[in-house]
Structure 1
Amino acid sequence: MHWLRTLVDRYPKPARVAGKTLLLAGAILILGAVFARAGLAWPLPEGPVVFGIAVALVLAGVVLTHLADQAPRG
């Protein structure tokens, strides 16, 4: 985890963009699965594996964005 903190401290803006991108990708997967479940979208792969991947993407995005926000401004 130390390598991630060092990398984010060195490049905070790209880390923030990557974090927000991961967060958005996970949210799109979750919303897409909800709409597919309701029959409002094309068939998407549903199930615990996809939701686990989506949650992992959202959590990784939140952590990366949080680390980038705490990076020293230099």
Structure 2
Amino acid sequence: MTAKEALHHYYKESGDSQPEIASKLKISQSSVHNWLSGKKEIPMESYCAIAKLCGIELLQLLPEDWKSALANEK
């Protein structure tokens, strides 16, 4: 699951508005809109906050190539 997919799922299931999500993530409403619409990529520094908001593990949001790189670090 990508960060965008997780955020989109949370948006649909929670009933929270984009401004409410923005407030919870401590970002602008336009950022939430741009992320959900695909106009802008979600910056990596927001992944932790999105994972926490969505109630999922951060590792679930990381791109597959990052997961592979982390696994190889061990």
TM-score interval (norm. to shorter): 0.3 to 0.5
Q: Which has the larger radius of gyration?
A: 1
The answer to which structure has the higher helix fraction is 1
Q: Which structure is higher in RCO with an 8 Å CA cutoff and minimum separation 6? A: 1
TM-score by length of 1: 0.33
